[in-house]
Structure 1
Amino acid sequence: MEILTKKQAREIFKEKRKNLQDTEVGRMSEQIRDLLFSRLMMHRYSPIHIFLPIKKHKEPDTSLIISLLRKDFAPDIYISKSEEDGTLTHYLYTKNTKLTVNKWGIAEPEKAKEGLSSKVFFEKYKNEDILIFLPLLAFDKTGNRVGYGKGFYDRFLEFANEKTTCLGISFFEPIDQISDVEEHDFQLDFCVTPKRLWQFKN
């Protein structure tokens, strides 16, 4: 049984991603997109909150998912800007949104003024089915996630409601168990890999 602490999982899976070739990243990103749209009823969700990949960390290419959403589904798509106080501000992401790269290598809205706080974001869409894509380094077979350890998404999801679906994306299959899960950690509803869509809650 593969049981790891968050720290161990971060180190192992950072190294695994580091060793991926760019061609592998592209191929697996396409597999993730295709599997996601074939297994999950994407049309039911609006808004959809998605992260843009940190290319130097070889994160899954979510632009493939965004392109298909815009082409066939037309939901409200949101991305975030990381603030100095550890919170996220959320912006509608359109084809006209100009991006700039922050100190972590994340593309964010440039000179954005009309962002929503996490609390206001969930209040605005309190009657809608919301889908949140979560970046991660690793996950386990019960839906626990290991992120980068900065807590941005934990603080964001404090305001989530019962109509919120949390979806992880991973190039790698889950480990058996993350041993040091804490009470404030949010569990995934789904996680999609190149091989399958994992579902954790009924």
Structure 2
Amino acid sequence: MLKAELRKKYIQKRKTLSHDEVFLLSEKISDHFISYFKPVAGQKVHIFIPIDKFNEIDTRIFIRYFFKHNIRVFVPKVIDRLISVEIFENTIFKTSTWGISEPLSDDDSGEFHFDYVITPLLYCDKKGNRIGYGKGFYDAFFESISSDSRKIGINYFGPDEIIDDIWENDIPLDYLVTPVEVLSFFTGVE
């Protein structure tokens, strides 16, 4: 299927999820991430803040775990491009014009090596190709970070369909975490 068709299909599938389903599935995804990757104190994780009206995975569950275990947390903020802002338990947030909760600070951390980059998506196929909202911010961000940073998509749905229109500049994920499994597309040395 084409990206536009898959984007429409998976936006619709997400809309059918209740608030309780979003929370329960998000907990399962978080549990799978933690048990598979076993993040430890001092590691650096770049993770998105969910857009609740789009039923995105509740990454606040992950963030609470990271803070509790002294894992450094960075979140995206769009200022012409996607920058990475380090957050703390007392960080102040505001809602952007796109309805995204972002840190008040515009200070780019300058960090380019993350242990994990937990990435939003609408769909991911069996080769790690992802479909987001179509703005290209994450592909540009992936270009700017260390190639050692693990790019991890999280999604409610598994990779059941092929994306037919992959572009040359699309950067695939290394892993996909769903409520039922962790899939590896990683081709580097472990």
> Would the TM-score normalized by the shorter structure come out above 0.5?
yes
Where 2:167 maps in the other structure, the secondary structure is coil
Q: Which residue of 2 aligns with 1:132?
A: 117
Amino acid at match of 1:130: D
1:25 aligns to what? Answer: 22
TM-score w.r.t. the length of structure 1 is: 0.88
Does the residue aligned with 1:68 lie in a helix, a strand or coil?
A: helix
| Runs (5+) with no aligned partner, structure 2 | none
What whole-Å deviation, never above 9, does each CA across 1:123-180 have from its counterpart, x for those lacking one?
A: xx4xxx5211110000101110000001111111111223110000101111231111
Say which of 90, 95, 102 aligns to 1:96: 90
Match of 1:171 among 123, 134, 156: 156
| Residues paired across the two proteins, number | 187
- After TM superposition, the structure 1 = structure 2 runs for residues 1-202 of structure 1, keeping only pairs within 5 Å, are 4-43=1-40, 46-72=43-69, 74-83=70-79, 85=80, 87-110=81-104, 112-116=105-109, 120-122=110-112, 125=113, 130-202=115-187
Q: Indicate how the Cα distance of structure 1 residues 12 and 43 shifts in structure 2: closer, same or farther if over 3 A, else same.
A: same
Q: Aligned-pair distance for 1:201?
A: 1.5
Unmatched tracts of structure 1, length 5 or more: none
Q: Quick check: 1:48–1:78 contact (8 Å CA) kept in 2? A: yes
Asked if the contact 1:191/1:199 (under 8 Å) is kept, the reply is: yes
User: Any idea what the Cα deviations from partners look like across 1:98-135, whole Å, max 9, x if unmatched?
Assistant: 0011111110011x14323xxx321xx4xxx5211110
Distance in 2 separating the partners of 1:155 and 1:70: 27
Cα distance in structure 2, aligned partners of 1:151 and 1:52: 17
| Runs of 4+ in structure 1 over 4 Å off | none
Amino acid at match of 1:107: S
Task: Give the structure-2-normalised TM-score.
Answer: 0.93
Whether the aligned pair in 2 keeps the contact of 1:45 and 1:130 (CA below 8 Å) is no
Cα distance between partner residues in 2 of 1:136 and 1:175 = 15
Identity over aligned residues, as a percent?
A: 36
* Compared CA separation, residues 173 and 45, structure 1 to 2 (3 A): farther
Amino acid at match of 2:176: C
Contact 1:80 1:90 (8 Å CA) reproduced: yes
